[in-house]
Amino acid sequence: MSDNAFDFGMIGLGVMGRNLLLNMADHGFSVIGFDKDAAKNAALESSASAGTTVKGVGELAQMIQLLQRPRKVMMLVPAGQPVDDVIASLLPLLDEGDVVIDGGNSHYTDTLRRVKYLRDKNIHFMGIGVSGGEKGARTGPSIMPGGDQEAYQNVRPMLEAIAAKVNGTPCVAYLGREGAGHYVKMVHNGIEYAIMQLISECYALLKSAGATNAQLHEVFRQWNEGDLQSFLVEITSEIFLQKDEKSGADLVDVISDKAGSKGTGKWTSQDSMELPVAVPVIDTAVAMRTLSGYKEEREAAAQIYGDESKSILTLDELLPLVHDGLLFSTILAYAQGLAMLFQASKDLAMEIPLPEVVSVWRGGCIIRSSLLEVFTTAYQQSPELSNILLNQDVAALVKSKEENMRALVTFAANSGTAAAGHMSALAYFDAYRTGRMPTNLIQAQRDYFGAHTYQRIDIPGTFHTEWGQQ
């Protein structure tokens, strides 16, 4: 190859990095990847489709030399110090105007720092969230770019080419200033945590009524053909069919109940408190994953208190409640995440366009679902909507499921089945629709013990009372 022959470079040729490059190559771009592991370089080249221009190299300087100017380089390396290490290695090799992209799951505060650091050196830096897993990277992910808008225009043709398409529209758009891309991806992952928790609770509730894995497969398959259509419901249906190669049993039954995490859900919960914005379904999902790790304690507690769920409904009676409860709670999970993005857009000056966010999430990503079409319409009607629950169409959908949602939570409590995600969704809904909450009492308590003052409903200003003096 001659010098300056390649359109795009990738640092880190794990499955995600390799698949993204191959996706670009299939769309007519010449791509080059760098990895210290020679086997990964070889795997990149051997996986390329016939007629595409794909190269793997073991020297970073060689890759940079072979890129067209302005150079466009993406990193797919672990978040944290490895990203800073790669940037340090890149800087002596780059020229002003080159574009550096972090495509991993970095915390947005690190992205803010890196944007400023490289801007001072006249290097464009972008944080881009990529969702869809290994398959999505190869065939069409959801892409969430933020940061330098000029840099986005340089990479936009490539990103639009490789992104998932919904009705011909690429699932990629410029999503805001500075660290917005990684912020949107962080919240995406928080919503993902929430919906996975809600589905797992539905699984527990239906199992308590005697549902077999074969029945659960059919239930989720049917749900995926209706108003619960989503990627996570689809794969849940498929999970119940998978057999374990070692034992021949259903694989789901031999998988440990200790769930891991990579931290992005926790970041969503933590950062929501900094704004502050209430995201209790996401908070609950994070907490329940943590609780799943208390395996020995849970087993000891089960010996003391018992852990049997006592179903008081038949499976046929329970199914409509679980269906409607899952739809209700899923809407609440999206609502909380989107409300967080709305507030962050203002408070952190990221200028995140919510209509584009829900449009980008419609295809390719883990939380894609038919509900996002409803939300897209809501934001088309009111682009500055602070909470999708205030949209009349969304409100009508929520209210149509409210009765069964309440019945489901009642069933869960009476049967002894943990359904914390659904319970927190309902509690949020009831608090959000309450014109006067009981927090006037909390104001009084705070002033009583700490002289923190309070506000009144009839007179403006701040007040303090010497409590107990009468």
Which sign, positive or negative, has the C-alpha torsion 73, 362, 173, 396? Answer: negative
Beta bridge partners of 454: 463
CATH number, domain with residue 138: 3.40.50.720
pLDDT tens profile 222-279: 999 999 999 999 999 999 999 999 999 999 999 999 987 777 889 999 999 999 999 9
CATH code, 248: 1.10.1040.10
Domain co-membership, 417 together with 344? yes
Please give the Cα distance from 158 to 30 (Å, whole number): 11
Residue count of the chain:
470
470 located within any domain: no
Residues 157 and 282 in one domain: no
Name 217's Cβ contacts closer than 8 Å, sequence gap at least 6. Answer: 237, 238, 240, 241
Helix 180-208 × helix 213-223 angle, to 10°: 130
Domain boundary (140, 174, 208) is at 174
Q: Establish how many alpha carbons lie within 13 A of residue 252's alpha carbon, considering only the half-sphere containing its beta carbon.
A: 17
Q: Residue 157: is the preceding peptide bond cis (ω within 30°)? A: no
Task: Over range 16-37, report the average pLDDT.
Answer: 95
**What pLDDT, in 10s, does the model give residues 403-422?**
999 999 999 999 999 999 99
Same domain, 208 and 102: no
**One domain, residues 71 and 194:** no
Query: Is residue 342 within 8 Å of residue 387, measured between CB atoms?
Result: yes
Q: How many domains does the chain have?
A: 2
- Is the model's pLDDT at 127 over the cut of 60? yes
pLDDT of residue 326: 98
Structural domain for 208, as ranges: 185-432
Q: How confident is the model at residue 307 (pLDDT cuts 50, 70, 90)?
A: confident
Are both 164 and 191 inside the same structural domain?
no
At residue 107, does pLDDT exceed 70? yes
What are the Cα distances from residue 3, in Å, to 42, 65, 68, 193? 21, 7, 8, 45
Residue 460 has pLDDT above 70, yes or no: yes
Q: Do 94 and 164 fall into the same domain? A: yes
Say what the pTM is: 0.94
On whether residue 445 sits in a domain, the answer given is no
| pLDDT value of position 310 | 76
Annotation marks residue 317 as catalytic: no
Over pLDDT 70: what percentage of the chain?
99
Answer yes or no: is 400 within a domain: yes
Instruction: Say which residue the tokens 């969304």 belong to.
Output: 394
Judge if 152 and 191 occupy the same domain.
Answer: no
- What are the residues facing 9 on neighbouring strands? 32, 73
Q: Kindly state whether residues 41 and 89 are assigned to the same domain.
A: yes
Three-state SS at 436:
coil
Q: Name the phi and psi angles at 191, rounded to 5.
A: -65, -40
Burial letters 153-172, b for 16+ CB under 10 A, else e? ebbeebbbbbbbebeeebbb
* pLDDT at residue 1 tops 50: no
Verify that 155 and 242 share a domain, yes or no: no
Reported as a pLDDT band with limits 50, 70 and 90, residue 311 is confident
Listed in sequence order, the residues at least 6 apart from 362 whose beta carbon sits closer than 8 Å to its beta carbon are: 166, 171, 368, 372, 373, 376
pLDDT tens sequence across 62-83: 999 999 999 999 999 988 999 9
Does some domain include residue 260?
Answer: yes
Indicate if 116 belongs to the active site: no
Note whether residue 456 is domain-resident: no
- Domain closes at, from 148, 174, 200: 174
Q: Is 263 left (phi over 0), alpha (psi -120 to 50) or beta?
A: left
Flag whether 454 is in a domain.
Answer: no
| pLDDT value, residue 291 | 95
| Residue 462 within a domain | no
Residues 6+ apart with CB under 8 A from 316: none
Q: Say yes or no to pLDDT of 126 above 70.
A: yes
Catalytic residue among 40, 185, 266, 401: 185
Handedness of CA 269, 272, 276, 281 (dihedral sign): negative
The residue behind tokens 């986005």 is: 152
Average pLDDT over residues 426-445: 97
Confidence of residue 3 (pLDDT cuts 50, 70, 90): low
Same domain, 268 and 401: yes
pLDDT bucket at 4, cuts 50 / 70 / 90: low
Answer yes or no: do 163 and 218 share one domain: no
**Does residue 369 sit in helix, strand or coil?**
strand
The single residue of 55, 178, 192, 201 carrying the catalytic annotation is 192
Q: Give the mean model confidence (pLDDT) for residues 287-312.
A: 91
Phi/psi class of residue 463: alpha, beta or left (left: φ > 0; alpha: ψ in -120 to 50)? beta
Q: Give tens-digit pLDDT for 349-362.
A: 999 999 999 999 99
Please provide the average confidence, as pLDDT, over all residues in the chain: 94
Question: For residue 261, which phi and psi values (nearest 5 degrees)?
Answer: -160, 160
Distance CA 250, CA 248 (A): 7
- Asked if the structure places residue 18 within a domain, the reply is yes
Does 154 score more than 80 pLDDT? yes
What is the spatial distance between Cα 250 and Cα 50, in angstroms, rounded to a whole number?
Answer: 39
Q: For 239-256, b where at least 16 C-beta lie within 10 A, e where not — what string? A: bbeeeeeeeeebbeeeee
Whether residue 60 has pLDDT greater than 60: yes
Q: Which amino acid is at 457?
A: I
State whether 139 and 45 are in the same domain: yes
Could you tell me the strand order of the sheet in which 72-75 lies? Answer: 54-57, 31-34, 8-11, 72-75, 99-102, 124-131, 142-147
Interstrand relation of 165-166 and 169-170 (parallel, antiparallel or unpaired) = antiparallel
CA 421 to chain CA mean position, Å:
16
